[in-house]
Amino acid sequence: MIVAERKPLDVIRQMIAPYAKVLIVGCGTCVTVCGAGGEREVSFLHDELRLAQAKNPDGMHTYSEYTIKRQCDPEFIDLLDAKAEDVDAIISLACGIGVQAVADHFPDIPVLPGVNTTFNGVSSEYGVWDERCATCGDCRLDETGGICPITRCTKGILNGPCAGPKDGKCEVSKDMDCAWVLIYQRLERLGQLDKMRRYYPARNYQVVPRPRRIVVKSNVTAGAENA
Protein backbone atom coordinates (compact mmCIF):
# COMPACT_ATOMS: atom_id res chain seq x y z
CA MET A 1 0.00 0.00 0.00
CA ILE A 2 1.10 3.55 -0.72
CA VAL A 3 2.35 5.41 2.33
CA ALA A 4 2.40 9.19 2.41
CA GLU A 5 3.12 11.88 4.93
CA ARG A 6 1.33 15.20 5.43
CA LYS A 7 3.37 18.18 4.25
CA PRO A 8 4.24 20.70 6.95
CA LEU A 9 1.55 23.35 7.42
CA ASP A 10 3.94 26.18 6.42
CA VAL A 11 4.52 24.55 3.04
CA ILE A 12 0.80 24.14 2.43
CA ARG A 13 0.12 27.72 3.50
CA GLN A 14 2.77 29.03 1.12
CA MET A 15 1.31 26.95 -1.73
CA ILE A 16 -2.23 28.26 -1.21
CA ALA A 17 -1.20 31.85 -0.45
CA PRO A 18 -2.27 33.21 -3.87
CA TYR A 19 -5.67 31.49 -3.88
CA ALA A 20 -8.76 32.71 -2.05
CA LYS A 21 -11.14 29.76 -2.36
CA VAL A 22 -9.50 26.44 -1.65
CA LEU A 23 -11.03 22.98 -1.76
CA ILE A 24 -9.34 20.31 0.33
CA VAL A 25 -9.86 16.88 -1.20
CA GLY A 26 -9.23 13.66 0.69
CA CYS A 27 -8.86 10.15 -0.63
CA GLY A 28 -10.58 7.19 0.99
CA THR A 29 -8.04 4.51 0.19
CA CYS A 30 -4.27 4.26 0.90
CA VAL A 31 -3.81 7.69 2.48
CA THR A 32 -6.80 7.08 4.73
CA VAL A 33 -5.21 3.88 5.97
CA CYS A 34 -1.83 5.50 6.58
CA GLY A 35 -3.45 8.45 8.31
CA ALA A 36 -2.21 11.11 5.90
CA GLY A 37 -5.21 12.12 3.83
CA GLY A 38 -8.46 10.48 4.91
CA GLU A 39 -11.57 12.31 6.00
CA ARG A 40 -10.19 12.86 9.50
CA GLU A 41 -6.95 14.41 8.19
CA VAL A 42 -8.87 16.56 5.74
CA SER A 43 -10.90 17.92 8.64
CA PHE A 44 -7.77 18.41 10.70
CA LEU A 45 -6.02 20.36 7.92
CA HIS A 46 -9.18 22.39 7.49
CA ASP A 47 -9.13 23.18 11.24
CA GLU A 48 -5.43 24.01 11.15
CA LEU A 49 -5.81 26.36 8.19
CA ARG A 50 -8.75 28.13 9.78
CA LEU A 51 -6.90 28.52 13.06
CA ALA A 52 -3.82 29.83 11.24
CA GLN A 53 -5.99 32.35 9.46
CA ALA A 54 -7.70 33.40 12.70
CA LYS A 55 -4.34 34.01 14.37
CA ASN A 56 -2.55 35.62 11.38
CA PRO A 57 -5.21 37.64 9.65
CA ASP A 58 -3.09 38.57 6.63
CA GLY A 59 -4.54 36.50 3.82
CA MET A 60 -8.22 35.85 3.35
CA HIS A 61 -9.08 32.32 2.40
CA THR A 62 -12.27 30.33 2.20
CA TYR A 63 -11.96 26.62 2.66
CA SER A 64 -14.18 23.70 1.89
CA GLU A 65 -13.51 20.00 2.09
CA TYR A 66 -14.58 16.77 0.51
CA THR A 67 -13.33 13.22 0.61
CA ILE A 68 -13.87 10.82 -2.26
CA LYS A 69 -13.36 7.11 -2.29
CA ARG A 70 -10.35 7.01 -4.59
CA GLN A 71 -8.61 9.84 -6.39
CA CYS A 72 -6.83 7.61 -8.94
CA ASP A 73 -9.98 6.88 -10.96
CA PRO A 74 -11.81 9.46 -13.08
CA GLU A 75 -15.29 8.16 -12.22
CA PHE A 76 -14.81 9.01 -8.56
CA ILE A 77 -13.31 12.39 -9.41
CA ASP A 78 -16.49 13.24 -11.30
CA LEU A 79 -18.10 13.62 -7.87
CA LEU A 80 -15.90 16.67 -7.30
CA ASP A 81 -17.32 18.64 -10.23
CA ALA A 82 -20.01 20.41 -8.21
CA LYS A 83 -17.67 21.02 -5.27
CA ALA A 84 -14.94 22.52 -7.44
CA GLU A 85 -17.19 24.82 -9.42
CA ASP A 86 -15.79 28.16 -8.32
CA VAL A 87 -12.70 27.27 -6.32
CA ASP A 88 -9.36 28.91 -7.05
CA ALA A 89 -7.24 25.91 -6.06
CA ILE A 90 -7.53 22.33 -4.89
CA ILE A 91 -5.29 20.75 -2.27
CA SER A 92 -5.27 17.02 -2.78
CA LEU A 93 -4.30 14.92 0.20
CA ALA A 94 -3.97 11.85 -2.02
CA CYS A 95 -0.70 10.32 -3.22
CA GLY A 96 1.00 11.74 -6.29
CA ILE A 97 -1.21 9.57 -8.45
CA GLY A 98 -4.35 11.15 -7.06
CA VAL A 99 -2.96 14.67 -7.38
CA GLN A 100 -2.20 14.07 -11.05
CA ALA A 101 -5.54 12.41 -11.75
CA VAL A 102 -7.39 15.35 -10.16
CA ALA A 103 -5.18 17.79 -12.07
CA ASP A 104 -6.04 15.94 -15.29
CA HIS A 105 -9.71 16.26 -14.49
CA PHE A 106 -9.57 19.99 -13.73
CA PRO A 107 -7.20 21.46 -16.32
CA ASP A 108 -8.14 25.04 -15.34
CA ILE A 109 -7.67 24.74 -11.59
CA PRO A 110 -4.27 24.49 -9.90
CA VAL A 111 -4.11 21.20 -7.99
CA LEU A 112 -1.62 21.24 -5.12
CA PRO A 113 -0.16 18.26 -3.26
CA GLY A 114 -0.91 18.20 0.46
CA VAL A 115 1.15 15.11 1.20
CA ASN A 116 4.52 13.69 0.26
CA THR A 117 4.06 10.28 -1.31
CA THR A 118 6.84 8.35 0.34
CA PHE A 119 6.92 4.62 -0.20
CA ASN A 120 5.05 1.36 -0.56
CA GLY A 121 4.89 -0.23 2.79
CA VAL A 122 3.35 -2.26 5.54
CA SER A 123 1.98 -1.51 8.99
CA SER A 124 2.24 -4.04 11.78
CA GLU A 125 1.07 -1.84 14.65
CA TYR A 126 -0.92 1.37 15.21
CA GLY A 127 0.87 4.34 13.66
CA VAL A 128 4.08 2.67 12.39
CA TRP A 129 4.88 2.15 8.70
CA ASP A 130 7.81 0.33 7.04
CA GLU A 131 8.88 0.38 3.44
CA ARG A 132 8.73 -2.97 1.66
CA CYS A 133 8.61 -2.58 -2.13
CA ALA A 134 10.46 -0.33 -4.57
CA THR A 135 8.19 -1.22 -7.54
CA CYS A 136 11.26 -2.17 -9.59
CA GLY A 137 9.15 -4.19 -11.99
CA ASP A 138 11.36 -7.28 -11.79
CA CYS A 139 10.48 -9.22 -8.66
CA ARG A 140 13.10 -11.66 -7.35
CA LEU A 141 11.60 -12.42 -3.94
CA ASP A 142 11.67 -16.13 -4.79
CA GLU A 143 15.47 -16.01 -4.69
CA THR A 144 15.72 -14.13 -1.40
CA GLY A 145 13.32 -15.99 0.87
CA GLY A 146 10.53 -13.43 0.51
CA ILE A 147 12.67 -10.53 1.80
CA CYS A 148 13.43 -7.76 -0.67
CA PRO A 149 17.08 -6.67 -0.62
CA ILE A 150 16.38 -3.71 -2.88
CA THR A 151 14.15 -1.96 -0.34
CA ARG A 152 15.26 -3.48 2.94
CA CYS A 153 19.01 -3.33 2.41
CA THR A 154 20.17 0.26 2.76
CA LYS A 155 22.58 -0.25 -0.10
CA GLY A 156 20.13 -2.26 -2.16
CA ILE A 157 22.79 -4.82 -3.04
CA LEU A 158 21.81 -8.03 -4.80
CA ASN A 159 24.64 -10.21 -3.51
CA GLY A 160 24.86 -9.51 0.18
CA PRO A 161 25.64 -9.05 2.87
CA CYS A 162 28.27 -6.37 2.66
CA ALA A 163 31.07 -6.26 5.23
CA GLY A 164 29.12 -3.86 7.45
CA PRO A 165 26.53 -5.81 9.49
CA LYS A 166 27.25 -6.39 13.15
CA ASP A 167 25.15 -8.79 15.26
CA GLY A 168 22.59 -8.91 12.49
CA LYS A 169 22.16 -5.13 12.46
CA CYS A 170 22.96 -2.75 9.62
CA GLU A 171 26.03 -0.52 9.85
CA VAL A 172 23.83 2.47 9.01
CA SER A 173 21.66 2.09 12.09
CA LYS A 174 21.85 -0.23 15.05
CA ASP A 175 18.04 -0.37 15.13
CA MET A 176 17.78 -1.66 11.58
CA ASP A 177 18.03 -5.34 10.72
CA CYS A 178 20.47 -6.31 7.98
CA ALA A 179 18.23 -7.53 5.15
CA TRP A 180 20.86 -10.05 4.04
CA VAL A 181 21.14 -11.56 7.50
CA LEU A 182 17.34 -11.92 7.49
CA ILE A 183 17.53 -13.50 4.02
CA TYR A 184 20.21 -15.94 5.18
CA GLN A 185 18.20 -16.94 8.25
CA ARG A 186 15.03 -17.38 6.23
CA LEU A 187 16.75 -19.48 3.53
CA GLU A 188 18.38 -21.60 6.23
CA ARG A 189 14.97 -22.20 7.74
CA LEU A 190 13.57 -23.14 4.33
CA GLY A 191 16.55 -25.41 3.61
CA GLN A 192 17.49 -23.36 0.55
CA LEU A 193 20.88 -22.06 1.58
CA ASP A 194 22.23 -23.04 -1.86
CA LYS A 195 20.51 -19.90 -3.14
CA MET A 196 23.02 -17.88 -1.12
CA ARG A 197 25.88 -19.40 -3.10
CA ARG A 198 24.59 -18.20 -6.46
CA TYR A 199 25.71 -14.99 -8.01
CA TYR A 200 23.06 -12.57 -9.18
CA PRO A 201 24.23 -10.28 -11.92
CA ALA A 202 23.75 -6.58 -11.33
CA ARG A 203 20.59 -5.17 -12.84
CA ASN A 204 20.54 -2.40 -15.36
CA TYR A 205 18.08 0.16 -14.03
CA GLN A 206 18.73 2.47 -16.96
CA VAL A 207 16.74 0.41 -19.41
CA VAL A 208 13.46 0.67 -17.46
CA PRO A 209 11.50 3.04 -19.69
CA ARG A 210 9.27 5.50 -17.86
CA PRO A 211 6.42 6.02 -17.61
CA ARG A 212 5.55 2.38 -17.57
CA ARG A 213 2.22 1.14 -18.80
CA ILE A 214 0.53 -2.21 -18.38
CA VAL A 215 -2.24 -3.34 -20.68
CA VAL A 216 -4.09 -6.42 -19.50
CA LYS A 217 -6.82 -6.37 -22.11
CA SER A 218 -6.12 -8.16 -25.36
CA ASN A 219 -5.72 -6.15 -28.51
CA VAL A 220 -8.68 -7.39 -30.52
CA THR A 221 -9.43 -5.67 -33.82
CA ALA A 222 -13.08 -4.87 -34.43
CA GLY A 223 -14.76 -7.44 -36.64
CA ALA A 224 -11.92 -9.91 -36.23
CA GLU A 225 -13.37 -11.86 -33.23
CA ASN A 226 -13.70 -15.09 -35.21
CA ALA A 227 -10.56 -14.76 -37.23
Partner 1 sequence: MRTTDSDRKHYPRESRLEDHSLMPPCQAACPLHMDIREYVDLVAQGKIMEALAVIRSTNPFPSVCAYVCTHSCEDACRRCLVDSAVSIKAIKRFALEFGGDRMIQTEAKTTHAEKVAIVGSGPAGLACAYYLRTMGYEVTVFEAHSEIGGMLRVGIPQYRLPREVLDIEEQRLIQMGVEIRTNTRVVSLDLLFEMGYKAVFITIGAHQSLRLGIEGEESTGVIDGATFLREVNLGLKPALGNSVAVVGGGNVAIDAARTALRLGSSDVTILYRRTRAEMPAADTEIEQAEEEGIKIEFLVAPIKVSRKSDQLTVTCIRMELGEPDEKGRRRPVPIDGSEFDMNFNSLITAIGQTPQNAAEFGVRTGRGSTIQVDPQTLITNKVGVFAGGDAVTGPATVVEALAAGKRAAQRIDDYVRHRYPIDKNGTVIMDGGLSEHTIEKIRKIERLEPPVTSSKTRAHDFKPVEQVYNWQAAVSEARRCLRCGMGAEILFQDKCASCLTCLRVCPYDVPYVDESGTIQIPAEQCQACGICIAECPAKAIVMRKPSSYLHINEELEHAIKSFNKSEFKPSIIGFCCQYGLFGTGTLANLWRGARAGIWIVPVLCVAKIEPGHILRAFELGAEGVFIAGCGEQCARENTNMWIGQRSAKVRKALYEIGLEQERLAILNTSGQNEDLTAILDDFTETISRLFLASVIMQEVKR
Q: Which residues bind partner 1 (CB under 8 A)?
A: 8-10, 21, 28-29, 32-33, 35, 38-41, 43-44, 46-48, 50-57, 60-67, 69, 83, 123, 125-126
The stretches of 23-141 forming alpha helices (DSSP H) are: 30-33, 39-55, 74-77, 96-105
We find the least distance from the C-beta atom of residue 36 to partner 1, in angstroms, to be 9
We find the least distance from the C-beta atom of residue 51 to partner 1, in angstroms, to be 4
**Which residue number, 69 or 166, has a Cβ lying nearer to partner 1?**
69
**Which residue number, 44 or 205, has a Cβ lying nearer to partner 1?**
44
We find the least distance from the C-beta atom of residue 92 to partner 1, in angstroms, to be 16
Q: What is the CA 79 to chain-centroid distance, rounded?
A: 23
**Which residue number, 66 or 106, has a Cβ lying nearer to partner 1?**
66
**Which residue number, 26 or 145, has a Cβ lying nearer to partner 1?**
26
- Residues in contact with 161: Cβ distance below 8 Å, sequence separation at least 6, in sequence order: 153, 178, 179, 180, 181, 184
Spatial distance between the Cα atoms of 78 and 164, rounded to a whole number of angstroms: 52
Phi then psi for residue 220, to 5 deg, are -105, 125
Q: Any idea what the Cα angle at residue 157 is, between residues 115 and 127, rounded to 5°?
A: 35
Spatial distance between the Cα atoms of 22 and 64, rounded to a whole number of angstroms: 6
**Which residue number, 55 or 217, has a Cβ lying nearer to partner 1?**
55
We find the least distance from the C-beta atom of residue 75 to partner 1, in angstroms, to be 15
Spatial distance between the Cα atoms of 182 and 179, rounded to a whole number of angstroms: 5
We find the least distance from the C-beta atom of residue 19 to partner 1, in angstroms, to be 14
